Amino acid sequence: MLLNNVLPKAVLFDVDGTLAETEQDGHLVAFNRVFRLLDIPWTWTDDDYQWLLKTTGGLERMRVYAEHCGQLQFLEGEGAERLQDAHRLKNKVYAELVEQGAVKPRPGVVAFIQTLLQQGVTWAVVTTTSRGNFEALYAACLRPSGIPPPKLAICGEDVERKKPDPEAYLQALHRLGLHPSDCLAVEDAPNGLKAARAAGIACLVVRSVYFQAGPWDGAYEVRDSFLT
Ligand code: XBP
């Protein structure tokens, strides 16, 4: 993948929706399972989740939903603790689903990373999902194909502000010792695109199932698949 006719020094990959359709096949299934297990009276549909994905971060997403439904008891005290427990359990269930093979790498993504590595390009991860979620996905979906661990993985726990804030990308640039023009970000969603652009990094968008519509202002290129 060339960036302005030259190879980038590093390609910085988002995780959810970009490496795999984790949201539809993993996180949404896990959220609904946990709501039942913990007697939280919510069931999220595909349409609900598409709207909810405007909010980055699983815990933040549940808080936005509680507010939206006027269930303010979930925003403080015991109710807030219930959501924190639900979030921890959601990530445990998510990791189990991933281990069981419920989530597959997006078609062509493994070959895309392999080609970069053969060309001497660094592969790194810039996500605001929890680190355990990325590690579970790497172990189940990328390591078996011989993809080595990324040189750097910035995850949700590493930042104070999640995407669309550029903090995760700025940290990656600092830790890799690279200039924004040396790098290409790969994202599937408008929040990720905004984060990369706000850090000055060119961004290839590979649209995922919940983000067909954009907006994609400022994208370097917009594709539907890693195969094209
Ligand atoms: C990823 C997310 C996450 C995952 C779940 O952000 O928004 O919400 O759905 O992650 P990005 P946690 O793709 O912008 O990196 O539940 O661990 O927060």
- Residues with Cβ within 8 Å of 175's Cβ and at least 6 positions away in sequence, in order, are 152, 154
C-alpha closest to that of 65 among 52, 76, 78, 79? 52
- Asked if residue 50 has its Cβ within 6 Å of ligand 1, the reply is no
What domains sit in the chain, N to C, each tagged with a CATH number?
10-21+104-223 (3.40.50.1000), 24-99 (1.10.150.240)
Give the C-alpha distances (Å, rounded to integers) separating 26 from 30, 42, 99, 120: 6, 17, 11, 32
From the list 98, 102, 126, the residue with the least C-alpha distance to 18 is: 126
Going from the Cα of 202 to the center of ligand 1, the distance in angstroms, rounded, reads: 21
Q: Which helix (H) or strand (E) holds 103?
A: none
Does residue 58 line the site of ligand 1, with CB under 6 A?
Answer: yes
Question: pLDDT of 160-205, one tens digit each?
Answer: 999 999 999 999 999 999 999 999 999 999 999 999 999 999 999 9
Please choose from 18, 44, 56, 171 the residue to mutate so as to test ligand 1's pocket, defined by most ligand atoms within 8 A of CB: 56
The DSSP call for residue 151 is S
Which residues are known catalytic residues?
A: 14, 16
Q: Where are the beta strands (DSSP E) in the chain?
A: 10-13, 122-126, 153-154, 183-187, 202-206, 221-223
Question: What pLDDT shows up at residue 1?
Answer: 82
Residue 208 near ligand 1, beta carbon < 6 Å:
no
pLDDT tens digits, residue range 69-124? 999 999 999 999 999 999 999 999 999 999 999 999 999 999 999 999 999 999 99
Q: What is the DSSP letter of 149?
A: P
Residue 156 has pLDDT above 90, yes or no: yes
